[in-house]
Amino acid sequence: MAKHPSKDLEIALLDERHDRAGFNCGVESLDRYLKTQAGQDVRRKANGVFVLTERREPSRILGYYTLCAMALSQGDVPEAARKHVPRYPLVSATLIGRLAVSKGQQGRGLGAILLADALWRAIESASTVGSSMVMVDALDESAAQFYATHGFVHLTDSLRLVLPMRLAAGMAKP
């Protein structure tokens, strides 16, 4: 389990104690994933699915994110990020595939807490499996702006953004 964002909150790997059916972030694809596919992805090791809960109500999911490994073509890495990654044809990356906060909890900074935890876990795993950057596929411009505010750089003409692992280390929680 990762270090906790506060004494009242906990981030843990999704398991059977968590109430996936009660989660609603307002984005149908993110809600549907958590309710119907996330458990299967965890069992099959296709994605790590991490949920944010309150210690006093540990079954209620306040937010979640997913992590998985992938690779990106060197030519797709933005110029601003190239000096921070190795010059291999394929650059290893950790993908934050989804990140969502429950509708009733939005505006409390929980997205930033989830992102900091995701970056911390990406950095920790990079020491073992190797990963040069963190990548996200934003659903829309608003989500892309959230990631850009946290140092991610846009790939050309897309909603995909990257953050070199070296830079992520400075942004992850201690």
The type of residue at 62 is L
- What confidence tens digit (pLDDT) does each residue in 57-78 have? 999 999 999 999 987 765 565 5
* pLDDT at residue 2, rounded to an integer: 44
Between strands 133-137 and 90-101, the pairing is parallel
- Across all residues in the chain, what is the average pLDDT? 87
Question: Does residue 1 sit within a domain?
Answer: no
Coil vs helix vs strand at 134:
strand
Domain of residue 66, residue span: 9-168
The label of the residue with tokens 């992938």 reads 70
Total number of residues shown for the chain: 174
Residues 6+ apart with CB under 8 A from 145: none
In a domain, 141, yes or no: yes
Domain membership of residue 84 (yes or no) is yes
Q: What is the tally of structural domains in the chain? A: 1
Q: Residue 146 is inside which H or E element, if any? A: helix 141-149
**Which tokens belong to 31?**
């809600």
Residue-wise pLDDT for 81-116, tens only, equals 555 555 656 678 899 999 999 999 999 999 999 999
Task: State mean pLDDT over 116-122.
Answer: 94
Residue 135 covered by a domain: yes
Contacts by 166-169, CB closer than 8 A, 24 or more apart: 166/84, 167/84, 168/119, 168/122, 168/123, 168/133, 168/134, 169/123
CATH of the domain at 124: 3.40.630.30
Task: Examine residue 142 and state whether it is found in any structural domain, yes or no.
Answer: yes
3 in any annotated domain = no
- 0.85 exceeded by the pTM? yes
What DSSP character marks residue 83? T
